[in-house]
Amino acid sequence: MPEFNNLNIFLQQSKSYLNSIPSKSVKVEDEKINYFEAGSGETLLFFHCFNGSKALWRILANRLQDKYHVVIPDIPGFGMEDNLSKKERFSFRYIIEILNKFTKALDLNRFHIISASAGSTLAASYTIKHAEKVISLSMYGLPTLFRETPEICCNSDKPIDFFVPITLKGQQALNEHLIYGPGRVSNWLMARSIELNRRNRDFKINVLNEALKNTSLIVPRLRQLDLPILFIYGEADNVTPLRTIEHFSAVAPNVQCYRIPNAGHMVYIEKADEVSAIYKSFLKFISLEAP
């Protein structure tokens, strides 16, 4: 099996690489959720970034499925498939409940969550609401949205619509902002992303704004949970606010934080070997702590 440690190479060759883990689908109320599933053991549930898809987890999942049961859904409205039923009914809270019903449909009672970027805001909110199901929370590349107070500010002046581009120029600017080092994202992927953003732009922006309004509650509520938390982020990440990570690491219990050099916002793809090694050690450590 070929290995792709560079995001650009992975995206250019993704069509052939995606055959390594089987794709499935399940109906949850009016939503058809496509997902990847492989492996056995403790369950790892993945939440992708809001402008990505389940395919972005392929590299990391291939390094974990030998020891763990990996489940990777396309988040409704935010994957590379146009899988919205009715846009007017979608909201940040609705997505959380659909994902919870997805776990019930697959009979997932207890699991670890792995999340990326703004998907970490979703994962943290899910964890707070359904804490009885979550064993641990792992977040790779925290989003600008994730902060406790306004004075814990981000290091990006980009507006929300910058992250939902509808032109080729806008998509290229976003790629340069997110991806570390030189390279080129495939024209096919950029065209598909732009097409879906044009259809769902207002919906995506509304959901992101809704998430922003709720982020001030996340840190205090997570702090009340006795939950192991892992942060991994790239040293050259243009999205992750360093002061927010330092603040959260200081005030939240049971937090492990790792910074990886020569990596950007997509650290879990760009440095998959390092991330998977850290994550396996994290899981081993918390299993030793369990009663």
Query: What is the CATH classification number for the domain harbouring 219?
Result: 3.40.50.1820
Residue 173 is assigned to a structural domain of this protein: yes
| Overall domain count for the chain | 1
DSSP secondary structure letters along 132-194: GGEEEEEEES--TT--SSTTS--S----GGGGS--SHHHHHHHHHHHS-SS----HHHHHHHH
Residue 1 is assigned to a structural domain of this protein: no
Residue 2 is assigned to a structural domain of this protein: no
For the stretch 17-64, pLDDT in tens is 444 677 899 998 888 899 999 999 999 999 998 777 898 899 999 999
pLDDT at 277: 96
Q: Which domain holds residue 277?
A: 7-289
Residue 197 is assigned to a structural domain of this protein: yes
pLDDT at 117: 85
pLDDT at 290: 53
Residue 80 is assigned to a structural domain of this protein: yes
Residue 151 is assigned to a structural domain of this protein: yes
Residues of the chain with pLDDT under 70: 1-20, 79-89, 143-157, 182-184, 214-216, 248, 251-253, 288-291
